[in-house]
Every structure is written in structure tokens, then in C-alpha cells.
Chains A and B, each alone.
Chain A
Amino acid sequence: MIIPCLVLAMLTLLPFAGARAAAGDVNAGREKARLCAPCHGQNGISSRPGIPSLAGQRDQFLQWQLVFFRSGRRPNPVMVPILAKLSDRDIRDLGAYFASLPPNTQPAATRPDEALRARGQAIVAQHHCANCHTDSFRGERAAASLANQRQDYLVKALTDYRSAARPSVGVAAMTEAASGLSDDDIAAIATYLAMLGPAGR
């Protein structure tokens, strides 16, 4: 049972043939990302509460968020004014750059609350999160990488999805998935995802 699942998971992670001509330019993105470093970290790994790490985040997810900030559909007093004038090219370059950085793979350093972590794992299973975010929770396409993201940021993100304060991509999957979560559920999920080990457990 485990082996076929792993094979399937690996198949779904295979890169797609034929990279698009419109893919962003990592070097151009590095230049454009200088403004981002004070908050999101020099290597895209944030040490600031409530601010997400972007290193190794999925290119497509990043681009969607930049599009949402640019149009104001994802309201944020800091991000919206900074990003209002981004061009499509800027968005592609920034997405490519942050996706190219090695992600944080260190589980959150706080002492694990085992019961909370286990509860988070159960909720994540119950909601089929891995269906889009993959078994490793490193994401795929427009589904975000979640593993070892900042715990406080995961709480903020889920809370914002729950209240529809931020939009979801495509068929509104996150708005719906988060709609029934309690504050305790969100704390448990964030604990589990922030503390994931390298093997995704």
C-alpha cells in the first residue's frame, strides 16, 4: 500500500515536459526581490512573526498571490501599495526567483506539543490536504508549499481563508476547506505543518 502511494506521489511531482517561454528569469527576479528581503529574509526565509517564508514556494502559487495583491483582491496595507505597479514580467521573475531558493527544511524549533501535532495530522488527513499540497506538503503548481512554513503565518493564512479575507485560486478550494475549521483546529494544523520532518511526517 505504501509503495504504490509513493510511486504515485513521485509521478505527480515529475516536472512537466516543455517549459513555457514565458517562464520568469531567476536573475532578474533576484534584483527585483531586493525590496522583499527586509521582511521576508535574505534567503527568502522569514524570521519575522506573521510574515511568510517564500524560499522554495511554488512558482505558480507565488504568481497568483502577486496577481491578487496587485489587483487589491488580497488586501494588505503593506503589500498592495508596493505591488500595485508590478508588470506581468515582474510577477513571472519574482515567482521564478523565490521558487528557485532552497526551502526551509527545519521543523519549527518550539518544543512540540505532541497531542496538538497529532490532532493537526488527523485534521489534515480528514480534509484531504495532501490531495493538492502533495504528501510531502511541499506543494505543486498553484497549491502552496506548507511544510516548515512559520507556524504563526500558517495560523494567519488559514484564518484569512476562513473569513474569505483572502481569495483562493480556482474553484475556491481553500475558502471552502477552511470554512469549517475552529481556532483550535487551525492551531493544530499549523503546529503539524510547521513541525514536519524531512520525510513529510
Chain B
Amino acid sequence: MVFRPGYLGLLATLPLLSAPALSPVGAKAAELKSYDSSKPSFWQHPPPDWFLGDETEAQKGLAPPSGPALPTPPDELQADLKRIKLPPGFRIEVYASGLPEARQMAWGKDGTLYVGSFNATNVYAVKDVGGKREVKTILKGLNMPTGVAYLDGALYVVAIDKLLRYDNPEANLDHMPAPVVVYDDMPHYVAHGWKYLVVDKNGWMYIPFGPPFNIGIPPTSVSQIRHVDPKTGLAEIVALGVRNSVGGDIDPRTGDYWFTENARDWISDDLPSDKLNHITRLGQHFGYPYCHQGDLPDPKFARGHKCSEFTPPVLKLGAHVAPLGMKFYTGSQFPAQYKDNIFIAEHGSWNRHKYQGGRIERVIVDPSGKSARQEVFASGWITGDRDYFGRPDDILQAPDGSLLVSDDWAGAIYRISYKK
């Protein structure tokens, strides 16, 4: 039986305390966690309890689930996909398998699909050879290369604290060239340091910077989204007060950047909600760590702030659904009412008593962010109360208008297509 350190300390000193020391003010100060982020040691070694530490006794044992060590074999994937529910007319199939911890996807030249990974350290290339997909591990040993993008004939990979460029990759898949570091003004801790890349029409990239803990007063270089020019290394901060964002896209109607955000942990199974956000003004503050889901002041860190000071989300997506990669749908394969809808890959819960998420959501919303509504598009990856056979984490539209979905649990990519 493990007590939280603060609780253990309180128990140990209880008989010695005089009554005034137990006043609410004293108790509050003792509960408030503080990290000293003023020293380099903080960046070298984020607090070991960055993803725990705030849990209650009732939440004990809810630890991050690790996926299988091996990618799910193709025959088993086919069987698993029979359990996925989709609207009428849609079907899901295995597009590629054998990509451990597959994360963000990006199209390169000649139908080459690039795929990042989480802790597998790899980047993959998938090619269609006569209707079969061949998977090649083209890069190894990178530090959480979750984000990939393709621009002007080069593959970009973001690996925690470096944005790397690989020139002319299609001609060098068997022996990739040494990368050019195009931007590295990034903290090198791993916690919430895994990233996602979104390229805009001017060739700049939106890159999220998550805080190295669940909740706290973030150091100045994080809890923000930057807009980076990979040609020059210039960067600007476009959003503040953002917790862990690992997905976003540009609205084809306006050019605005929209992004998903994972809310803080350990308040409860149903609070706070994860978010879909929309940047309408440079430097908007989205509330973290003071206010969550647009209307819930943080019990410890609100510190007098009101939620009305911050930009609310376009949509509350639900607690512990873990929205990651997202895309606006611009294709013509799906029925017309899907045009400009947002598809969001929800990775699913890790510390909710009954998992939710682990599905693909459809969001219908106008360009201003008004009158947003959501519905479940694809579901069924959760088994029982707390297990998965797959966890969707990114979405990419294929040239024919079908959707690709990456799954870092099963190490696979699926294709969802529509036929009347």
C-alpha cells in the first residue's frame, strides 16, 4: 500500500501539529506542488512523477498501458477490424501492418507514405507494389520521432528537440542521407515533448510544445504552439496556455490552424474535457494551467484567474478521450455532407476507470468555429473496461479520398473508404 508522499508526511507529523497549522490555508499550501524549473537539472530530468503524483487513492493503479511488444499479425488485424463500427456504406481494411508504434503519416512523392513512431525510434516508408504494401524502416535510433511532414521534395521529422530535414528521400530509402537540423530551439525533455507537424501554404510548420508534467506553472518555452519556417529557422509563438497537443490541421476554407489538446489528469473520470481549439488571433491563451475546458478553474493553479480571461475550445471532446491527429476532409469519395468536416483520431484513455475514446470522431463545424457538433465515426477498438486491440493516433487523406488511420498499439495502418 503506497501513500502519496504528502499524505504520509501529514500522517507522520499529525500528533505534533497544533490546531492553527491545520487551517485551510496551511493545508492548501502543503498540497500545492511546486517544481523548481529554474535550474538546468529540471530540463535534464523532468520530475519522475510527471505523469503521476497527483492521483488519489481511488485512482491508484491507473498507469499508462503499454502496447504489445510486437505489431499485430495481418490475419489477426483482419479479424479485429470486423469489430469496428462505421456508418453505412463505409468499410475499413488493413492498409499496412508491421509498423511498430506507428504515429503521424505524410505523403511523399510517387505514392510513398512516411510514418513516424513513438518509442520505437523508427521512421517507416510504405510503398504500394502491385496492390500490396511494402513497409521499410528507413530511419532508426531517433528520439521519439512522432511527427513527420513532406515539403518541397524533402522529408521532415521532428524528434523531441530537433526538426530534421532529409533531402530527396525517395531515391535513398535504403540508405537515407544524414539529416540537416533546421530548427532546434526546443527543450530536450521527453515528457510531453513528442510532437506533430502541420505545414501551411507558405511552407511554415505549426509545432506544439507540451509541458513536462501533468499540471504546474510551465517554463516559458513550453505550453505553446509555435509557427516555424524550416527554411530560415525563424519561429513565432502563435498560441499560449496549451497543454499536450499532438494533432492539428489547417482549415482549407480559411487557412486557420485548428488543434486538438489533451487536458490535465487526475481530477476525475469525467473532468476535465479534452478539447478542439481554433486559433483566430496571434498569441491567444487557451487556459492551461489556470482553466480547463473553457469553464473549469483549476482547483490548485487557477490562482485568482477567471476562465473568461482565456480562449474557450470550439468543442469539448470528452474526458480522457485523448484526441491526437486530425484532418479536415477535402476529398470527394465520401458523401457531400462530409466535405470540410474534421476527423479526429482519439487515442483513448490510460487513467480512466472505464476507458473511452479509442475511436474516430467526426466534427461538423463552420469556418468561424460556431455551431460545432460531433458524432462517433468509427469505434470498437476498446475491449472490456480497460484494454485495447488498437489505438488510432493519426489520420491522413489518401489521393482517392479514402482515409488512412495509423494505430500505434497494433502497429498498423487502416484504410476507410466509402462506396454507395
Contact = CB atoms under 8 A, between A and B. Distances in A.
B119 A22 contact: no
Interface stretch (B45-53, B215-223, B233-241, B399-407): B45-53
A176 B383 contact: no
B122 to A, nearest CB: 9
Interface stretch (A108-116, A130-138, A187-195): A130-138
Nearest to B118: A170
Contact of A179 (B3, B48, B64, B383): B48
B61 interface: yes
A51 to B, nearest CB: 21
A5 interface: yes
Interface in A103-160: 124-132, 134-135, 141-143
Contacts of B57: 1, 4-5
A77 interface: no
B66 interface: yes
A171 B383 contact: no
A21 B73 CA distance: 9
Nearest to A95: B69
A94 B104 CA distance: 32
A20 B58 CA distance: 29
Nearest to A65: B69
B309 to A, nearest CB: 32
B108 to A, nearest CB: 25
Contact of B119 (A12, A20, A167): A167
Given A67-B70, A180-B48, A20 B76 contact: yes
Nearest to B41: A180
A134 B52 CA distance: 14
B64 A170 contact: yes
Given A167-B119, A171-B51, A17 B384 contact: yes
How big is the A interface, by class? 35 or more
B65 interface: yes
B1 interface: yes
B2 A142 contact: no
B61 A9 contact: yes
Contact of A64 (B63, B65, B66, B384): B66
B1 A18 contact: no
A91 interface: yes
A60 interface: yes
B24 interface: no
A176 B384 contact: no
Contacts of A12: 61
Interface in B115-156: 118-119, 121, 140
Contact of B73 (A16, A22, A71): A22
Given A16-B383, A130-B2, A167-B119, A92 B53 contact: no
Given A66-B69, A135-B1, A177-B48, A169 B61 contact: no
Given A2-B1, A128-B52, A171 B68 contact: no
Contacts of A130: 1-2, 60-61
B76 A134 contact: no
Nearest to B388: A16
A142 B66 contact: yes
A170 B66 contact: yes
B84 to A, nearest CB: 15
Interface in B23-71: 45-46, 48-53, 55, 57-58, 60-71
A135 B1 CA distance: 6
Interface in A61-112: 63-64, 66-67, 71, 73, 88, 91-92, 95
Given A92-B70, A131-B61, 18 more contacts: A4-B58, A5-B57, A16-B387, A18-B383, A21-B79, A60-B69, A63-B69, A91-B69, A125-B8, A129-B2, A130-B60, A131-B63, A135-B1, A141-B65, A169-B66, A170-B64, A170-B118, A179-B48
8 contacts: A8-B58, A88-B71, A88-B73, A125-B2, A131-B60, A173-B64, A176-B46, A176-B190
Interface of A: 1-2, 4-5, 8-9, 12, 16-18, 20-22, 60, 63-64, 66-67, 71, 73, 88, 91-92, 95, 124-132, 134-135, 141-143, 167, 169-173, 176-177, 179-180
Q: Sorted from nearest, which 10 A-B pairs have the closest CB atoms?
A: A142-B66, A63-B69, A64-B69, A132-B63, A170-B66, A179-B45, A12-B61, A16-B387, A130-B2, A177-B48
